[in-house]
Amino acid sequence: MRILVSGGAGFIGSHLIDRLMEQGHHVICLDNLFTGTLQNIAHWQNHDRFEFIQHDIVEPIDRSVDQIYHLACPASPVHYQFDPIKTLKTNVMGTLNMLELAAKYGGKFLLASTSEIYGDPLVHPQTEDYWGNVNCTGIRSCYDEGKRAAETLTFDFHRQYKTEVRVARIFNTYGPRMLENDGRVVSNFICQALRGNDLTVYGDGSQTRSFCYVSDLVNGLINLMASDCILPVNLGNPGEYTILELAQAVKQLVDRPIGITYKPLPQDDPKRRRPDISRARSVLNWQPIVPLRQGLQETIDDFRRRISH
């Protein structure tokens, strides 16, 4: 098939492209390189089934496609808060452009949504029928509300134009190719530890997250695209860890004498986050298989190679 991956030069997108190329598809990678990097896709650049287009999805584009995996959007607070209006435009206008492309060619469309649509949840763990607790005027709302609007557009295209759509609500994902400066807790801890610096914990470290290794997530995205499921599906690891537990795991794996520095909790930072993946298990026959320590070790090894250079 001809498959377009928007945001394909990014962390998750590039791993998805690896899998699609290995399956024998013709892959079009669309990326404006704001947070993506050509290094992530360099190994495919001269392949006859691979095409890279540097393009901002806020502007329309016309390419005949069978499927679209729509991942394009800065996904970490550091990057999406850098230009919040641009982030919102990417989520709304960019999603609209990708949906119109899918509708034009009768392609199947998968939206990479996010656990952030649940906000600072009042329901735990989070199921797909929970409507969320989101601050619509806060510093994170350009991303949270942008993704909620993207979901709205996606389901309206399905209802109005019969576009085949899939929606993945992605929870914290980590692994090789994460950016050093993306501000996410896994990359922050690993980079600080490898440089011999204290780990920075915001708040008291009791807030929880669930960490899904990138290969597991890619399996879930591909299974969802291949399924008949129109409903949103949580994709994440249901294992729940406090930030302090994560810090201790990184310290042990890096094995350096470092401490922990505490700083105030950012505005609207969720206190608890864990997916209920019952729907993914039953509909997609999917669940994560990579244990946290194994995934962290592979991620640390990747960062160690990059930082040493």
Q: Which of 143, 174, 213, 241 is catalytic?
A: 143
Question: Which residue type sits at 254?
Answer: V
pLDDT of residue 12: 98
pLDDT of residue 66: 98
Instruction: Give pLDDT tens digits along the chain (309 positions).
Output: 999 999 999 999 999 999 999 999 999 999 999 999 999 999 999 999 999 999 999 999 999 999 999 999 987 777 788 899 999 999 999 999 999 999 999 999 999 999 999 998 999 999 999 999 999 999 999 999 999 999 999 999 999 999 999 999 999 999 999 998 888 899 999 999 999 999 999 989 999 999 999 999 999 999 999 999 999 999 999 999 999 999 999 999 999 899 999 999 877 677 888 999 999 999 999 999 999 999 999 999 999 999 865
Distance of CA 143 to the CA centre of its chain: 12
Q: Domain 185-207+240-272+292-308 in CATH: superfamily?
A: UDP-galactose 4-epimerase, domain 1 (3.90.25.10)
Look at residue 4 and give its three-state secondary structure: strand
The tokens for 217 are 């997530």
- Rounded distance, CA 56 to CA 61, Å? 9
For the chain, give the longest Cα–Cα distance. 59
**In the block, which residue shows the tokens 């959007």?**
73
DSSP lists the bridge partners of residue 114 as 170
- Asked if the bond preceding 125 is cis, omega within 30° of 0, the reply is yes
Q: 118: which DSSP letter?
A: G
Look at residue 211 and give its three-state secondary structure: coil
pLDDT of residue 309: 54
φ/ψ (deg, to 5) at 76 = -110, 145
Please say if 143 is a catalytic residue.
yes
Contact 264, 200 (CB under 8 A): no
- Rounded distance, CA 39 to CA 120, Å? 35
Domain boundaries, the chain: 2-175+212-238+277-284, 185-207+240-272+292-308
In words, the CATH class of domain 2-175+212-238+277-284 is: alpha beta
pLDDT of residue 124: 92
Interior CA angle at 21 toward 16 and 26, to 5°? 110
